[in-house]
Amino acid sequence: MARILSGIQPSGSLHIGNYFGMMKQMIQYQNNSELFCFIVNYHAMTSLHDGNELRKNTVEAAIDFLALGLDPEKSIFWVQSDVPEVMELSWILSCHTSLGLLERSHSYKDKISRGLVPNAGLFTYPVLMAADILLYDTNIVPVGKDQKQHIEITRDIAGSFNNTYGDIFVMPEGEISEETSIIPGIDGQKMSKSYGNTINIFDDEKTLKKKVMKIVTDSTPVEDPKDPDKCNLFSIYKLFAAEDSLRNMKERYLKGGTGYGQVKNELLEILIEYFKPYRENRKSFEQDPGEIYNILKKGANKARSVAAVTLKRVKDAVGINY
C-alpha cells in the first residue's frame, strides 16, 4: 500500500483553493492508502512571528481538517512540531545540500520579488520540507504545481545522500492533479491569502455572497455568447457543479442569454449547500477542544514511531550513533 504524505500551513482561514488543491484528495486517500497528514507550523514561522496567532491557527487548522472529513482512525494526523525528529533530520540534510540547489528555488525568489524580507528559514525551507517527506519513507506527495520544484529538490537531496551512504531514503514521487493544480481567486490570479482574493470555506453566508459577487468577469453583454474556457467565474463554478449542471452551464455560456450575475447567484447556492455539512461538523469539534488535543497527541505518537526508525537509520549511516 502506497504511503501518502502532505501538510498544510496554519496560516489562517481555509479557502476553496486549499480544499480543492490539496485537502479534498488528501482526505480521499485515507480510504485506500496509508495517509500521513500534518500541520506544518514550523514552516509557517518563516513569515508568521506572532506566537499567539500561530498557536490559534494551528488548532483552527486541525479543526478544519477534521470537520472536512479527515478520520484519525484511518490516517496519521499530527502537528509538525510535535515530532522533534524532523528538525534533527533537517540539520543532517542541510549538511548534504548545496547552496546552489537552494538558490535555484523558484518559491524563494518569488517571495523575495513580492517584498517578503528574507530570512534563513525561508531560504532553507526546501530542506525542512525534504526532512518532512523523507522521515516517513513517503512514496507519494500530492502537491500544487507551484510546489513541484520542492519535490525535485527533495529527490536531489535524497539521491545525493543515498549515493554517499547507500539506500537510506525512499525516493518520493510528486503527484499533481492537472485539473485542480491552479485554483483561481476572485481576481483571476491563483487563490492565495497573500493576494486577498480567497473564498473561505467557513465564511458565513453574507460574507460568501459578498466575495462571490466580486468575482472578476469581462464585459460581454448578457445576450452574447461567452467563452467558458476563458472565464474566471466558470473556472470556479466547475469545481462544485455536478457533471450535468456543468454541461448545461457550458451550453448556456456558448448560446448567450445568461448573465454573469445569474451565474454568480447559482454558484453561491451550490457553494453554500456543498459545505453545509462541513460547517455543522466544525461546530461540533469547536465545542470539544480537549478531543482535538488528544487526537493530535495520538497522531504525533504514531508519527514518531515511524520517524524514529528512519532517523536511527540515518544516524547510523552518518556516524552520529556510536
Q: Considering only CA atoms, which of 320, 319, 310, 317 is closest in space to residue 85? A: 310
Q: Is 193 a catalytic residue?
A: yes
Same structural domain, 109 and 90: yes
What average pLDDT does the segment 135-160 reach? 90
Reply yes or no on whether the pLDDT at 253 is more than 60: yes
Q: How far apart are CA 121 and CA 141, in angstroms?
A: 22
- The answer to whether residue 233 scores a pLDDT higher than 80 is yes
- Percent of the chain residues topping a pLDDT of 70: 98
Residue 180: pLDDT band by 50, 70, 90 thresholds?
low
How far from chain centre, in Å, is Cα 307?
22
Examine the residue annotation and report whether 190 is marked as an active-site residue of this protein.
yes
Say if 190 falls within a structural domain: no
Among 24, 74, 145, 193, the one annotated catalytic: 193
265/115: higher pLDDT = 265
**Same-domain pairing of 240 and 299:** no
Total domains present in the chain: 2
- pLDDT at residue 155 in the model: 96
Residue 149 makes CB contacts below 8 A (sequence gap 6+) with 105, 106, 107
Residue 236 included in any domain: yes
Q: What is the CATH number of the domain that holds 273?
A: 1.10.240.10
Range of the domain at 160: 3-182+288-318
Q: Are residues 7 and 114 in the same domain?
A: yes
pLDDT tens-digit series, residues 31-85: 999 999 999 999 999 888 999 999 999 999 999 999 999 999 999 999 999 999 9
**Model confidence over 257-270: pLDDT tens digits?**
999 999 999 999 99
Are residues 14 and 147 both part of a single domain? yes
How many CB atoms are closer than 10 A to CB 118?
A: 11
pTM of the model: 0.87
**Active-site entry in 111, 211, 226, 264:** 111
- The CA distance from 23 to 13, in Å, is 13
Q: Which CATH number is 67's domain given? A: 3.40.50.620
The CA-CA-CA angle for residues 299, 23, 155, to 5°, reads 80
Q: What is the DSSP string of 234-279?
A: HHHHHHHS-HHHHHHHHHHHHH----HHHHHHHHHHHHHHHHHHHH
Q: Which three cell numbers stand for residue 248?
A: 448545461
